[in-house]
Structure 1
Amino acid sequence: MAGVETADVVIVGSGFGGSVAAHRLADAGLSVVVLERGRAWPPGSFARTPAEMHHNFWNPEQADYGLFDVLEFRGFDSVVSAGLGGGSLIYANVLLRKDERWFVKDAELPGGGYDYWPVTREDLDPHYDAVEAMLTPSRYPFDDPQFAGVPKTEAFREAAVELGLDWQLPPLAVAFAPKPDGQPGIGLPVIEPSYGNLHGLPRRTCRLCGECDFGCNDGAKNTLDHTYLSAAKAAGADLRTMCEVQAIRPGGPGYQVRYLLHAMDGSAVSKRIDCERLILAAGSFGTTRLLLGNRAHLPGLSPALGTRFSGNGDMLSFALHTRRDGRPRAMHASRGPVITSTIRVPDELDEDGGIGRGFYIQDSGYPVILDWLVQNMDVRGDLSRLAGFSMNRLRAALRWAGPDHLEHGIGQLIGTGSLSNCSLPLLGMGRDVPDGVMRLRDGELDVSWTTETSRSYLDRVRGTMRDITAALGGEYLDNPLWFRKRLAVAHPLGGAPIGRHPGEGVCDPYGEVFGHPGLYVADGAAMPGPVGANPSLTIAAMADRLCDHLLLARGMSGRSPARGGQRRSGGTTQATPAAPARLSGGRTGAAALSFTEEMAGQVTLGEREGPAPLRLRVTVAIQDMDAFLADPRHEATATGWLDCPALGGRLLVARGRVELMVTESAGGRRRMRYRLPFTDDRGRRLLLSGHKELRAGPPTAIWPDTTTLHAKVLADGVTLGAGTLKLGRRDFLRELTTIRAGSPGALERFGTFFLGSLWQVYRPRLTS
């Protein structure tokens, strides 16, 4: 329709799922529009004063477009964020992988049914790698003298040792050094990656101010706006803030999306955009509510919609008045990043004798300004000090004999601050029971969820928190909500879970909604149960996997020209694009054949010291099998990334080429050539040039010859370094699972070509 705005992909939400998808798909050459209901929050813009905090809540009806959206349900309260970067703006930075054995299969739920994860840790590991390469997590450097003034870390470790618990420093998405693997320092300028930063403002390393959950005004957190979204914008993604999606409908090239464009004065304008692919990433509450509210227009949605809600086992408590050797023990909860260390309590699924459902407990913190609020909770101490101060002033007045100095009296009135100084919040999370149900009541989201079915799990978490508090010499206090058997949920999950079939989940294991091709869920709503660990990394890894699936299904593995010969960037379409070819299963524009290859090894760079590790992951795609077989170079496209710390970390390969089984001589020698352009962290345009050499020999030579890539790193034809990369056996098995054929007979024809080439090289030869 002329005048209707269109895009290849619309993404609703900019959290850990939406941001990953925005970057991956924009970098592959698709026109991507991200609709985020909140506004951008550059460093320095987060509220700190009482007046600013008064308006720092999401309430468009009152023209408040703040960071926090506080939701109250019947069994729990929850806080989510509104802003460009989603939950990363207010999370506590922890990037832990889901425990391998916690990907449960057919675990019975108390209310009936089963807890089933249709993906495995092995499925997600390469995607965990990819996300970590982008977010560059590091562990808290508490052994460094500059960062040693955070006593809660050491105290937490001592408690764990005393109790025989597993203690660790988890990876944190925080810049403690100006660049990854650099020397840590406080308040140093952060060196931006090659794609820059969408805010255009300087960042500095962590100042240990404890403000992570309130928004980092220093930009020390590697939040999604500083990483994935900045890279997405550099790749051409259109990031739109203050856009709250109201309705989704099948139509146009795939889906119609209607949204409100909010203005800061409280007004709003209704807008529409059409897209071929629609990715919902508005969080567990936002995505589930959109699907429930538009169910009548999306016929055939799974009956599992709204099910499998979980709070990821969240539990908050406090260790008050900690002591050691009879003396107050300082915790300084307001110093450092919010979380520095974690304790893991094993699960019955583990091999180390765990009982029941496993969990993590982490030291926690808050901004220094809250020390005053915490201290004011000491009502008895306040009254006692006030009475003492008043009596002293009365005595001084009765025996007045000259000027009186008040310093000592005022110090007594303020007190020692032992409650705030010697107390520590404890944050727990783990494998609670995912049996909550989400539905709409009078148009509002309602969640039916109780702590009863998770009572044994919650009691174990509270018991361990009590033990930790005792080891710290403190007094245990439950979250006041617990007195009403309510929870504070920071990690809502479920509502549109993945599953093996529509009877089990709303989406398939890649996040595509059953019965609605091109509609995806890429956030916490897709989780079929609790992650157990902090869920952010797993949500991002699942989104990265979703993008591989989407691009392969669309016949793409990286950048390609826009359909109809004209690149679109989310603007109004001026010409009707060419109709894409329809293939089996109703998908569009699939490559004839594609597969993903991953190799690792080392390269020695002349201008650097020693060999540098390098990992390569590319998707090789053959667009036209006839042309491929007729071409003596047998050329295919290759897109993906290479990861080399010495060159700047994970670097994108956008327009690579691979030649497969090129005949080198009449003697039957073959070569596979790789030409993979990329840009390093210094902005240099480099080329990874490599080849695999296949020479006549015994069949035992097939494996080393076809899995060893001899590689060089070139700059304008000059060799900067060289080395070898190898395909491991596990990588090879994983590669087999990535083969996708998009046209009839393509796999058989490619197999005949490839195996025939191997036969020509390694066939037995008669000698005289």
Structure 2
Amino acid sequence: MSGSTLGHPTSPGASPGVSRRAFIAGTGSVLGAAALAGRAPAARAHAVPAPAPIADGARVPALVIGTGYGGAVAALRLAEAGVDVHMLEMGMAWDVPGPDGKVFCNTREPDHRSYWLRTRTKAPVNYFIGLPLDRDIPRYTGILDAEEFGGITVYQGRGVGGGSLVNGGMAVTPRREDFGAVLPSVNPGEMYDVYYPRANAALGVGTVDPDWFESAACYQYTRVGRRHARRSGLPFVFVPDVYDWEYMEREAAGTATKSALAGEILYGNNHGKKSLQQTYLARARATGRVTVSALHRVASVAPASGGRYTVVVEQLDTGGGVTAVKSVTADRVFFAAGSVGTSKLLVKLKATGVLPLLNDEVGRDWGENGNVMCGRANHLWDPTGALQSAIPCGGIDNRASGRAFAEVAPLPTGIETFASFYLSITGNPHRARFSWNPVAGRVELDWQTAWKQPSIDMARSIFDRINAKEGTVYRSDLFGAYKIWGDHLTYHPLGGAVLNRATDGHGRLTAYPGLYVIDGALIPGNTTVNPFVTITALAERNIEKIIATDL
């Protein structure tokens, strides 16, 4: 074993000969893939026609708003308990191939499928030698939303499967000693003995074969990151992931269609990644009790007679236009639209008098999981490889002394970059609040870019040390001219409807029986690692209690 493992499946300058023009073209928007980080040999598509979307006037026992991690858990467990569930998803179903025969577009060549209702790409890392590399695209309900607030851009998955469609699949369980700061009102014993193992098993979490890793050309960049970390006295760890590792080995051997090794991640992965479509949602649909309506956006949830709720839903076309407005009735409603989506909806409903009894904690304690990015320029004798897997498999863990964990992330450009790239997750203490702006008629977030400074300082505990040891420097051309730190974004939004503050101890909105929050909005701003396993495990805990007591 060449390195330790973080968690485990059941717990936790251009290359010589390449012209400057070719190098810039080769990097392009693909640089963004570095930070976000099936199984069949063909693109995932279903020949069976999708069921008709929810009808105006329908009544459902359980309505789940969103199809990400929390919503998928709720739908599966409710269905297993005999409850019929309808899920509403603002994004597309992503089950039909495009003209190129693929469901998802490649990261190197983003097209209309790449971004949610934008006319120009906004890749997380989209500069090279200070030159912007974004490109114009047709407006479309694409898979990645780059939602811009005053001080931060929040990247979110749009489609059936939510964030599982666009993340790097790093399935990390927090250290038990950190858990009290993440969810202080939750018993860690039950989480680590029951719900984290349950979540990891259902998500299909696994770890790269360390022997194969040592010789795989596609992980040369990670081995360079490991070498630099160890020479600086920093611990390198293997990180669990939901990618099908056997499939990736076949990709590398040339016996399977390339997916991770073709840079597919930022705008979806056509083959090897076990997104929620292949795990929780597949099992939920197999019960025969779960139906999904894609391109349906919830506008309102209001009390109705008999303790039920009237839900107003807008049906969208692929240009973002509203084609129909429907009113449906639900006995119970589960908010699972993601931290931002759930928080915005609840804040709006409270402020506009639709759900006025929601408590004042709604909208508070939102955080960005301490995300900050950076790149380092390596020496010519430290090439990171032209072929890089888009799926990260290792990290540098300096949480004990520097409060930072850094993914060794790819730059899958297809050419040698002599660069190491990292997404850090830090213990940034700053929290923001969502509030309703009645003049503008929208929900706003008061995050300030300057609040990223603690994250930068914590990340420096790793990278200043490595640069000093290796005699290397930071790249200052990936986020704009002379800009070292990617401090303008997050991939891990958390909070806004925090457990045991905005809700009770299991996600109930107690002023309105039958309303629940069951997604990342429950977690106050930080998980110390990639958050989706914690979101999944917490949803497993909460829905089990809700089914046992409320149903």
CA distance in 1, matches of 2:58, 2:387: 48
Residue number among 193, 218, 243 corresponding to 1:174 in the alignment: 243
Match of 1:724 in 2: none
Residue number among 250, 258, 261 corresponding to 2:312 in the alignment: 258
Give the AA of the match of 1:229. Answer: L
Match of 2:61 in 1: 8
CA contact (8 A) 1:524 1:539 kept: yes
CA distance in 1, matches of 2:239, 2:546: 31
> Within 5 Å, which residues of 2 pair with 1:182-261?
184-186=249-251, 207-218=260-271, 220-236=272-288, 237-252=290-305, 253-261=307-315
List structure 1 segments (4+ residues) > 4 angstroms apart after TM superposition.
Answer: 49-52, 60-63, 187-190, 203-207, 451-454, 469-473, 481-486
Match of 2:115 in 1: 57
- CA-to-partner distance for each residue in 1:285-319, whole Å, 9 max, x for gaps? 11111101111121321111111111100000001
Match of 1:73 in 2: 149
In the superposition, relative to structure 1, how do residues 67 and 149 fare at CA in structure 2: closer, same or farther (>3 Å)? closer
In the superposition, relative to structure 1, how do residues 154 and 234 fare at CA in structure 2: closer, same or farther (>3 Å)? same
CA contact (8 A) 1:430 1:531 kept: no
Name the SS for the 2:385 alignment partner.
Answer: coil
Match of 1:315 in 2: 372
Say if 2:543 is the partner of 1:547. yes
In the superposition, relative to structure 1, how do residues 46 and 205 fare at CA in structure 2: closer, same or farther (>3 Å)? closer
Deviation for aligned residue 1:53: 1.6
Give the AA of the match of 1:70. Answer: A
> Within 5 Å, which residues of 2 pair with 1:276-295?
276-295=331-350
Deviation for aligned residue 1:8: 1.4
Name the SS for the 2:278 alignment partner.
Answer: coil
CA contact (8 A) 1:318 1:424 kept: yes
> Within 5 Å, which residues of 2 pair with 1:529-678?
529-555=525-551
TM-score by length of 1: 0.56
CA distance in 1, matches of 2:457, 2:337: 32
CA contact (8 A) 1:210 1:365 kept: no
The one of the two structures with greater contact order (alpha-carbon pairs below 8 A, sep at least 6) is: 2
Deviation for aligned residue 1:552: 0.5
CA contact (8 A) 1:302 1:514 kept: no
Deviation for aligned residue 1:333: 6.9
In the superposition, relative to structure 1, how do residues 497 and 148 fare at CA in structure 2: closer, same or farther (>3 Å)? same
Match of 2:407 in 1: 362
Say if 2:93 is the partner of 1:34. no
Identity rate of aligned residues, in percent?
A: 26
Aligned residues: 462
Match of 2:223 in 1: 154
CA distance in 1, matches of 2:190, 2:311: 32
CA contact (8 A) 2:349 2:356 kept: no
CA distance in 2, matches of 1:246, 1:425: 40
Gaps of 5+ in 1: 106-114, 191-202, 348-353, 372-416, 500-504, 556-768
In the superposition, relative to structure 1, how do residues 465 and 146 fare at CA in structure 2: closer, same or farther (>3 Å)? closer
Deviation for aligned residue 1:487: 2.3
CA contact (8 A) 1:319 1:476 kept: yes
CA contact (8 A) 1:314 1:487 kept: no
Give the AA of the match of 1:128. Answer: Y
Deviation for aligned residue 1:49: 8.2
Name the SS for the 1:103 alignment partner.
Answer: helix
CA contact (8 A) 2:105 2:111 kept: yes
Name the SS for the 2:444 alignment partner.
Answer: strand
CA contact (8 A) 2:92 2:158 kept: yes
Residue number among 45, 48, 51 corresponding to 2:103 in the alignment: 45
Gaps of 5+ in 2: 1-54, 120-137
Give the AA of the match of 1:48. Answer: N
Name the SS for the 2:344 alignment partner.
Answer: helix
Deviation for aligned residue 1:444: 2.4
CA contact (8 A) 2:395 2:407 kept: yes
CA distance in 1, matches of 2:231, 2:370: 25
- CA-to-partner distance for each residue in 1:306-358, whole Å, 9 max, x for gaps? 111111000000012x12xxx432113751133120111134xxxxxx36xx2
Match of 1:275 in 2: 330
In the superposition, relative to structure 1, how do residues 156 and 513 fare at CA in structure 2: closer, same or farther (>3 Å)? same
- CA-to-partner distance for each residue in 1:582-631, whole Å, 9 max, x for gaps? xxxxxxxxxxxxxxxxxxxxxxxxxxxxxxxxxxxxxxxxxxxxxxxxxx
Name the SS for the 1:361 alignment partner.
Answer: strand
Say if 2:180 is the partner of 1:122. no
> Within 5 Å, which residues of 2 pair with 1:309-388?
309-320=366-377, 322-323=378-379, 327-332=380-385, 335-347=388-400, 354=401, 358-368=403-413
TM-score by length of 2: 0.77
Name the SS for the 2:160 alignment partner.
Answer: coil
CA contact (8 A) 2:310 2:328 kept: yes
> Within 5 Å, which residues of 2 pair with 1:405-444?
420-441=416-437, 442-444=440-442
Deviation for aligned residue 1:173: 0.4
In the superposition, relative to structure 1, how do residues 99 and 333 fare at CA in structure 2: closer, same or farther (>3 Å)? farther
Give the AA of the match of 1:139. Answer: T
Residue number among 437, 442, 445 corresponding to 2:443 in the alignment: 445
Deviation for aligned residue 1:359: 2.0
CA distance in 2, matches of 1:3, 1:30: 21
Structure (1 or 2) with the greater strand fraction? 1
CA distance in 1, matches of 2:535, 2:368: 14
Deviation for aligned residue 1:63: 5.8
Give the AA of the match of 2:186. Answer: V
CA distance in 2, matches of 1:484, 1:209: 27
Say if 2:495 is the partner of 1:494. yes
In the superposition, relative to structure 1, how do residues 139 and 116 fare at CA in structure 2: closer, same or farther (>3 Å)? closer
Give the AA of the match of 1:315. Answer: V
Residue number among 202, 206, 226 corresponding to 1:138 in the alignment: 206
